[in-house]
Amino acid sequence: MMKRRYLALGSLGLVLSLGIPLLIGRGDALHLLKQMPLLLWAATLAIIALSWNVNAGRVRMLLSGLGQPMRQLPAVALIMASEFAICATPAGAGGPVTYVVLLKRHGLSASQGMAIYAVDQLMDLLFFVTTLSALGVYWLLVPARAQAYAPSQLLPLVALLGAGLIAVLLLVRFHRGAMLALLRLLRKLHVSHRRRRRVARWYAEFRGGLVMVGGFPPARLLAIYALCATHWLLRYSVLYVVLRGLGTNVTWVYSFLVQTLALTVGQFTLLPGGSGGAELSATALLTPEVGAATAAAAIIAWRFATYYWYLIAGAPVFLMQAGRWRNDRAKAAQELAASEPHGATPRD
C-alpha cells in the first residue's frame, strides 16, 4: 500500500514538473529545447557530477574526523543514493533515512549517523543564511543590479532560514531541557519506560556526536564549510548556465535567488522533489525577465539536471546499496543463529 502511494505521488510530481512549464511555454518552449546544443546539456550534467564529488569530499572529511575514513567512490554512492531518496519521497523524507542506514553500514551507530546528517544540514543552513544576507548587502550597495522585486522577496527567505538555524542552535545549546521535554511528552503518550530510556540513550549519543564534530579543529571545520559552499555554488549555477545558453542576460545572483525561492516553495507541496511548487514559482519569477517560452524551457532543462537526473542516475545506485544492506542484515542474522547453542530457546 505504501509503495503504491509513493508511486502515485512520484507520478503526480513528474506530471506537474513537466506539465506546468509546458502549459506556460507551450510549443515555443519545446522549440527552444530542441535548439539547445548537446554541449549545453552535457555541461549541466558535468556540473552535477562535480557537485556530487565535492559533497562526497565533505562527507569524507566529517567521517575521517571521527576516525571512520571512507573512500571517494563509496562516498559518492552515499550521496547519489541519498539524493535519489530525497527526490523520490514526499518532502524528501527518505533522504535522512538512507543517509543514516548507509553510514551504519560503514560502522557508525544510528545516532552518530544522525549527528553527521545534522551537522551537514547546519552547514547548509549557515551557507544559505550568509549567502542571502550577502546578496541583500550587495543589492543595497549596488541597487542598479537588483531587479525591482528581488530585495522584497529576499527578506522573508533570510528570516525563515535564519529562524530555522537559530532554532537548531538553541536545541543543541539547551539539549537537557529539550530532552526532558521530549521524555515528558512520551510519558503523556503512554510510551513504555524501556522505550523512553532507549530514546534518552539515543539522544545522548546524538548529542555526543554533535559535540565530537563541534570539537574538530577550526581548519577542518572551515574546509568542510568550504566544500559545502562549493557544492551549492556549483549546483545553483545550473540554471544560470542554461539561461546563458538560451541567450539571456539574467545575472547569476538573480538565478541563485530564483532557485532558492522556488525550491523553498516546492518543499511546501510535500510532493517528491518539490514538484509543482518549484516549477510554478521559478517560472513566475523568470517570465518577467526572459519571457514565458524561454523561462519554461530553462526550467525544464534545469529540473532535468537537478531532479530527473537525480532519479535516473541515482536509482541504480540506491538499489545496489539497498541490496547490499539486505545482504548484510541476512548474513548478520545467519551468524547470530549459528552462534546460538543447539536447542536454545530464543530470547526477546
Measured CA to CA, the distance from residue 203 to residue 180 in angstroms comes to 11
Give pLDDT tens digits for 183-211.
Answer: 777 777 777 777 777 777 767 766 766 77
pLDDT of residue 192: 79
pLDDT of residue 348: 38
272 with 90: CB under 8 angstroms? yes
**Closest CA relative to residue 289, chosen from 341, 253, 249, 342:** 249
pLDDT of residue 253: 85
pLDDT over 90 percentage in the chain: 34
The band of 158, judged by pLDDT with boundaries at 50, 70 and 90, is: low
pLDDT of residue 194: 78
Other beta carbons less than 10 A from residue 231's beta carbon: 23
Give burial (CB, 10 Å; 0-12/13-18/19+) of 172.
Answer: middle
For residue 138, is pLDDT > 80? no
Least confident interval from 224-228, 246-250, 334-338: 334-338
Alpha carbon distances (Å) from 348 to 4, 201, 254, 284:
33, 20, 58, 57
φ and ψ at 250, to 5 degrees?
-65, 135
135 with 236: CB under 8 angstroms? no
pLDDT of residue 347: 43
Give burial (CB, 10 Å; 0-12/13-18/19+) of 110.
Answer: middle
pLDDT of residue 305: 96
Measured CA to CA, the distance from residue 79 to residue 98 in angstroms comes to 10
- How does DSSP classify residue 308? I
Average pLDDT over every residue of 124-148: 72
For residue 226, is pLDDT > 90? yes
For residue 332, is pLDDT > 60? no
Average pLDDT over every residue of 227-234: 95
pLDDT of residue 78: 95
Other beta carbons less than 10 A from residue 189's beta carbon: 8
Alpha carbon distances (Å) from 329 to 106, 319, 332:
13, 15, 5
The band of 346, judged by pLDDT with boundaries at 50, 70 and 90, is: very low
Least confident interval from 88-92, 186-190, 333-337: 333-337
Average pLDDT over every residue of 170-194: 73
pLDDT of residue 317: 94
Alpha carbon distances (Å) from 247 to 233, 241, 244, 290:
21, 10, 5, 10
For residue 337, is pLDDT > 70? no
Q: State pTM to two decimals.
A: 0.83
Measured CA to CA, the distance from residue 224 to residue 213 in angstroms comes to 11
Measured CA to CA, the distance from residue 201 to residue 134 in angstroms comes to 40
pLDDT of residue 238: 97
Give pLDDT tens digits for 291-310.
Answer: 999 999 999 999 999 999 99
pLDDT over 70 percentage in the chain: 78
The band of 17, judged by pLDDT with boundaries at 50, 70 and 90, is: confident
305 with 47: CB under 8 angstroms? yes
For residue 260, is pLDDT > 70? yes
| Average predicted confidence (pLDDT) for the chain | 82
Least confident interval from 39-43, 136-140, 144-148: 144-148
Measured CA to CA, the distance from residue 17 to residue 308 in angstroms comes to 10
The band of 345, judged by pLDDT with boundaries at 50, 70 and 90, is: very low
